[in-house]
Amino acid sequence: MPFIGNTPAESYISFAKQDITGNGGTSYSLNHPVTNAADIELFVNNVQQEPTTAYTASGSTLTLSEAIASTDDCYCIFRGRSLQTVSPPDGSVTSAKLDTNIAIAGSLSTVGTVGIGTTTPSSYNGGADDLVLATTGSTGITIASGTSNNGSLFFADGTSGADQYRGYVQYEQTNNAMSFGTNSAERMRVDSAGNVGIGVTDPSTWSLGTALHIGNKENNLWGEADYAIHMSQNAYYNSGWKYSHTDEATRYSQEDGKHIWSYAGSGSANAALTWSEAMRIDASGRVTKPSQPSFTAHLTGNQTLSAYAINTLTGWTCPSHGNVGSHFNTSNGRFTAPVTGFYLFTGAVQANAQSSLHLAFHMNGAAYESDSWVDHGNSTLGAELTRIMYLVANQYVTLVTLPTSASNANANRTRFQGYLLG
């Protein structure tokens, strides 16, 4: 372009400088090694010193003839280390003139696209071609940060406030955790053990395997090992199962081909937890419900039955494991429904009645749909009754008889059974 006067300078030369802080001594270290005192210019309180007389220099050692204090302004210029800054004309620098290793201190501002390893960054997808790194092998970017600092990649839509980091990926060197944020807030975290929290900033400590927390700390999916995975609520494993917070806990597990559903009553946060099994499907597809409410009972002794009267059978006994959940009262003969649902009941009575024997189930002391079973004879009679009944939680069922003559119910052959169907 035209100009008036001298040709504009396109290059500038400066020399490396080192500030020296006095320590009351005469010996100091140089940032760059030199051959002798003539390789540097030394200034003390803005007065240039005479080489070999006021100081000597060899290698990285500077020796002064007089000591300087920390209050003295001392610096040296390395005459053999010139720094040249060039301002080339626009469009005069091609990729062939650039070093393959470029280090930039400070900020670099560009207009247009930037390619590293490629001269045509605009040939890549237009939504992400502002900076393109291209090689013919493995390619990557390294973000190196201090051991107590963070390494971050921010996605911004503004220059102030939360707009500066609307989305981000951040690695915390202090605790070796990686966090992911959207809308300026953390949404997912991977801790140093590999546990993942989605919507959780403090995944629990697991002593085996790794876990995924969803929504909050209490909801998790835990991979124990190559044979088991667990989905639990309000529970975590750290040298044994523990409660996450004070409440009940539940768990579903897949272990060696089995499906297991478990539960635990309320416990305190971080206290040891004991599971009770609710249901299991084994590797052959068989279903068991060891905690399903059920009972089977027989009379403890013969019971006198009054003629033409409703006789509620009482005084029962249950065999081992014959009263799951303890919902059957052996004294008064009542089964109390723990939950609302359909129940299957079976009753059988043998008595020495002389004519007829009626058998029925009563719900809360009243006949259930006025349903009974009748047998006729003139000696020992046997009656059986099976019904599916819908009960609301806390309603109770009893087995009753109505003989047409006074008789006795046989203890060993009088039975009452029930089971929750669902």
**Where residue 300 sits, what CATH number does that domain have?**
2.60.120.40
pLDDT tens for 136-156 read 999 999 999 999 999 999 999
User: Mean pLDDT throughout 356-364?
Assistant: 88
On whether the CB atoms of residues 293 and 310 are closer than 8 A, the answer is no
Q: Give residue 4's pLDDT.
A: 60
Q: Give residue 284's pLDDT.
A: 93
Q: 305 and 274 share a domain?
A: no
Q: Is position 243 within any domain?
A: yes
**Other residues' Cβ atoms within 10 Å of the Cβ of residue 314:** 16
pLDDT tens for 333-343 read 999 999 999 99
Q: 330 and 382 share a domain?
A: yes
- Provide the 8-state DSSP code for 136: S
For residues 99 and 248, what is the distance between their CA atoms, to the nearest angstrom? 66
* Domain extent at residue 26: 11-86
Q: 220 and 317 share a domain?
A: no
Q: 325 and 385 share a domain?
A: yes
Question: Phi first, then psi: what are they for 128, rounded to 5°?
Answer: -155, 50
Question: Could you say which of 253, 288, 323 is where a domain stops?
Answer: 288
Q: Is 112 left (phi over 0), alpha (psi -120 to 50) or beta?
A: left
Q: Give residue 116's pLDDT.
A: 87
* pLDDT band at residue 72 under the 50/70/90 scheme: very high
Q: 248 and 284 share a domain?
A: yes
Q: 314 and 245 share a domain?
A: no
pLDDT at 351 over 90: no
Torsion angle of C-alpha atoms 163, 167, 172, 176, degrees rounded to 10: 170
* pLDDT band at residue 117 under the 50/70/90 scheme: confident
Higher per-residue pLDDT: 108 or 272: 272
Closest CA to 273 of 228, 240, 251, 239: 240
For residues 29 and 386, what is the distance between their CA atoms, to the nearest angstrom? 102
Q: Is position 120 within any domain?
A: no
Q: Which residues pair with 281 in a beta bridge?
A: 259, 287
On whether the CB atoms of residues 38 and 77 are closer than 8 A, the answer is no
* pLDDT band at residue 89 under the 50/70/90 scheme: low
Lowest model confidence (mean pLDDT) among 180-184, 343-347, 373-377, 400-404: 373-377
**Other residues' Cβ atoms within 10 Å of the Cβ of residue 324:** 18
Closest CA to 173 of 149, 142, 140: 149
Q: What is the radius of gyration, based on Cα positions, of the chain?
A: 45
Torsion angle of C-alpha atoms 156, 160, 163, 166, degrees rounded to 10: 60
User: Mean pLDDT throughout 226-253?
Assistant: 93
For residues 314 and 210, what is the distance between their CA atoms, to the nearest angstrom? 54
Q: Is position 198 within any domain?
A: yes
Distances (CA, A) of 252 to 126, 134, 136, 228: 47, 48, 48, 11
Q: Is position 178 within any domain?
A: no
Q: Is position 284 within any domain?
A: yes
Question: Could you say which of 265, 288, 311 is where a domain stops?
Answer: 288
Q: 205 and 321 share a domain?
A: no
User: Mean pLDDT throughout 352-359?
Assistant: 74
Higher per-residue pLDDT: 199 or 107: 199
Question: Could you say which of 288, 304, 339 is where a domain stops?
Answer: 288
Q: Tokens representing 232?
A: 């639990």
Q: 302 and 400 share a domain?
A: yes
User: Mean pLDDT throughout 231-248?
Assistant: 93
Q: Give residue 382's pLDDT.
A: 78
Lowest model confidence (mean pLDDT) among 253-262, 366-375, 391-400: 366-375
Count CA atoms within 13 Å of residue 402 on its CB side.
14
pLDDT at 118 over 90: no
On whether the CB atoms of residues 196 and 203 are closer than 8 A, the answer is yes
Q: Is position 177 within any domain?
A: no
Q: 367 and 411 share a domain?
A: yes
User: Mean pLDDT throughout 36-43?
Assistant: 93
User: Mean pLDDT throughout 393-400?
Assistant: 96
Q: Is position 176 within any domain?
A: no
Q: Give residue 95's pLDDT.
A: 59
Q: 332 and 253 share a domain?
A: no
Total tally of structural domains belonging to the chain: 3
Collapse the DSSP code of 96 into the 3-class scheme (helix H, G, I; strand E, B; otherwise coil) and give the result: helix
Collapse the DSSP code of 224 into the 3-class scheme (helix H, G, I; strand E, B; otherwise coil) and give the result: strand
On whether the CB atoms of residues 145 and 136 are closer than 8 A, the answer is no
Count CA atoms within 13 Å of residue 320 on its CB side.
0
Per-chain mean pLDDT for the chain: 87
One-letter amino acid identity for 148?
Answer: S
Burial-class residue 149 by CB neighbours within 10 Å (0-12, 13-18, 19+): exposed
Q: 321 and 409 share a domain?
A: yes
Q: Is position 261 within any domain?
A: yes
